[in-house]
Structure formats: structure tokens, C-alpha cells
Amino acid sequence: MPTSVRAAVAHRGATEFQIETVLLRDPAAEEAMLRIDASAFCYSDWIALRGDTGLPALDPDPYPVVLGHAAVGTVLETGAGSRHRAGRRVIVTATPECGECFWCRSGRIDQCERLFVPAPVIGALEGGREVRAPGSSATYIEHTVMRDIQVFPVDSDLPDAWLAMVGCGIVSGMGAVVNVARVTPGSSVVVVGCGQEGLWMVQAARILGAERIIAVEPLAARRDLAARVGATDVIDPADGDPLDAVRALTAGRGADFGFDAGGSVAAVQQAFAMTRLGGVTTFTSYVARDTVVELPLFDLALRGRDLRSSQSGRLDMARDLARFLPMLESGAVDVEAMLGGLRPLDAIGETLAAARDRTEITPIVVP
Ligand SMILES: [Zn+2]
Ligand SMILES: [Zn+2]
């Protein structure tokens, strides 16, 4: 029996969501039905709403869709053979963890072979049109159905809005620093772009004991937040060449660790240029599927420049929940600095605007 729920539905070519009723299907084998208690709004969903991500999950035309890939919820029902139990509090992530494929078994869960699969149907609109979940995840909705491998039980008393940020912003941003770059104590770090991901990177670099944390960000409010959460220096790229500014702060060399969280080709190139010879640049920007970035081969081949890709911070949820939740619980990270407004599903337009216009770091949808 389908369950009638309300959702923020994205139609092809639309630039706003529509609140509509979705007749949600029952969970299939190895799936669970969840009540979504809170979902972090991700800037990438604004890109997906515009329809220009080119992600395999959005290919071929999957619209109409329900977006959202970082949430906290409660298991309501389970399909046959599901590993989950009704009543459990769970975290939803963007990246699956099947545990069985070559990538999961070789320690690269971030590349699980079930990551990019065609968007599954989760139900239908009144009138019968199928509704899909790109990335196998739909969280801007009251209840959802999801495959087991993207749902992780959590034992925590932390507020819903905090846990909603774990599945994307926290694992991606903190994971890039802790799991991918492995920033060392006393090192210098530069972060290009201080949105959700960049600010979590700044926080993680501070916790790992980086001595100098340089934040490059054009928006004054975000530079202030970067300083609040741990940046020792902030640079406004409008104040002259930011590369010169970073070099001036790092004995002329550039930072030991560079991070790109700017969402553009320019941010990738800047983060690379701002990292010293023999240093490590970690990049996370995603622009479009066929985007090409030019980098100097001399530096890559002869100057010991190490480039690292950080898909969801090379997450491993069991390990990362054990690592990151205590940081949230103890106050080691400033969570309040990251939170935007908490708004009901009906206010999805305001939530979208807060992310799109960069007036909030992490707006939260509370279905
Ligand atoms: Zn995201
Ligand atoms: Zn796998």
C-alpha cells in the first residue's frame, strides 16, 4: 500500500521546488522506509535542480525527482532481509557502502560500485507520474524509501539538525582533511572557498593541530565564520592576488596542504598554486561531468606535487561516526556556526534561496 507523503518535488527545467503529494511505495528487499526528521540542504542540490550536473545518476532524464542526500531519520518499516530495525535513529549519506564490492573490500568505500546507479523510483505523483531519487536518496520529503547501504544507525542524543549535517558536509569536509590529506600538527593549510565544506575543513585542520590555517573567501560574512571556527588568517581575493597573500604567510613557499572547496575550476587551480612544492592538494569541487582542469605538468611531474581526490571525504561510516560524533558531542567543533535556519518543507523556497544566495551555510529542512 503506498503511503501518501508531502515532498519538495523538482521538475525538469524548474528553478524552484513544488510541494506535492507523493504516493511512496513500500520498501523493497534490503530497503527501509524512514521518517525524515531533518535534512541538511546541500548547494549541490541547487545545481541538480537546475539540471546541469551531468551525473550518471541523473541520466537519462529522471524527472520529476526528490533531492536531498544528508539527513537524520527514524526507521518506520523494513523490506525483506533489511539489516535495519523499526524505531532506530539513522543517518542518511550520499555515498553507499555495500561492503561486498571490490572497492568496499579494498578500503575505498567512497568508490563503491553502487554509487552511481540510475535513479530509483520511490513512488508516484497523484496522476501516476513516477518520482525518482537521484543518488538513490530523497530526503526533502516526510517519509522516504532507501536502500539499506545508505542508512546508518546512530546512538546519539545530539539534535536532529546537527546529525542532519553528518552525511554530507561533515564527512565530506572533515573527511577531506582527516582521511584524505591527513593534515599534520604544526603544518600550514589553505582552504579556498568557505561554504559548508570549506568551513568543516577549517574546523578539522584546527583539531588536527595545523598551526596556520588560511581561508580564502570572497564573502565577508564567510570570512568572519572561518575566523570564528579556526582560520588564523583570512584572505579576500578582491584585495589583490590571493596567491601572493598566501605565499607571504608561508615563508614564500605556499601551504603544506591545500584544499579546494570553491566549486569552480578557478578554485581547483588556486588551491593547487597555493600549495607548496612537495605539498598535498585535495580537491572536492564538482562543476559538470565534462569539465576539464588545466594544471602545470612541470609541477606535477618534477615538483613533487601530490593531488588527491576527496569523494565524500573517503568516508567509512562506522569509522567516521566513531571519530566525528564525539567531536560534536564534546564541543570540539563549532556546530552552531555551521547551522542555517530550520524550516519546514513548505518553506523550501526560502531554504533554497538561503543556499543559492549563500546567505546561510547549512539551511536545514525539517519535514
Ligand atoms: Zn551534499
Ligand atoms: Zn561497495
Residues 158 and 26 in one domain: yes
pLDDT of residue 50: 78
- The residue to which cell 585535495 is assigned: 282
Q: 211-234: per-residue pLDDT in tens?
A: 999 999 999 999 999 999 999 999
CB distance 319 to 294 below 8 Å:
no
Residues 132 and 151 in one domain: yes
CB distance 144 to 76 below 8 Å:
no
For ligand 1, the distance from its centroid to the CA atom of residue 41, given in whole angstroms, is 8
For ligand 2, the distance from its centroid to the CA atom of residue 163, given in whole angstroms, is 24
CATH number of the domain within which 62 lies:
3.90.180.10
Residues 70 and 194 in one domain: no
Say which DSSP state 272 is in: H
Position 341 in a domain = yes
For ligand 2, the distance from its centroid to the CA atom of residue 220, given in whole angstroms, is 41
Q: Of the bound ligands, which one is closest to the alpha carbon of residue 45?
A: 1
Residue 263 and residue 26: Cα distance in Å, rounded?
Answer: 37
Asked if residue 55 has pLDDT above 70, the reply is no
Position 204 in a domain = yes
Residue 47 and residue 195: Cα distance in Å, rounded?
Answer: 15
Residue 166 and residue 164: Cα distance in Å, rounded?
Answer: 6
Q: Which residues form the domain of 79?
A: 3-165+335-366
Residues 248 and 350 in one domain: no
The mean pLDDT of 54-63, rounded to a whole number, is: 61
Q: 296-355: per-residue pLDDT in tens?
A: 999 999 999 999 999 999 999 999 999 999 999 999 999 999 999 999 999 999 999 999
For ligand 2, the distance from its centroid to the CA atom of residue 99, given in whole angstroms, is 5
Residues 62 and 100 in one domain: yes
Residues 250 and 128 in one domain: no
Residues 233 and 84 in one domain: no
Residues 119 and 231 in one domain: no
What does 149-190 look like in DSSP terms, one character per residue? GGEEE----S-HHHHHTIIIIIHHHHHIIIIII---TT-EEE
Q: Of the bound ligands, which one is closest to the alpha carbon of residue 115?
A: 2
CATH number of the domain within which 207 lies:
3.40.50.720
Higher pLDDT, 335 or 47: 335
pLDDT of residue 57: 46
Residues 112 and 224 in one domain: no
For ligand 1, the distance from its centroid to the CA atom of residue 70, given in whole angstroms, is 7
CB distance 285 to 264 below 8 Å:
yes
Mean pLDDT of the chain: 94
Q: Of the bound ligands, which one is closest to the alpha carbon of residue 150?
A: 2
For ligand 2, the distance from its centroid to the CA atom of residue 88, given in whole angstroms, is 23
For ligand 1, the distance from its centroid to the CA atom of residue 90, given in whole angstroms, is 17
Number of domains into which the chain is organized:
2
Residue 47 and residue 226: Cα distance in Å, rounded?
Answer: 24
For ligand 2, the distance from its centroid to the CA atom of residue 166, given in whole angstroms, is 20
- Confidence band of 47 (pLDDT split at 50, 70, 90): confident
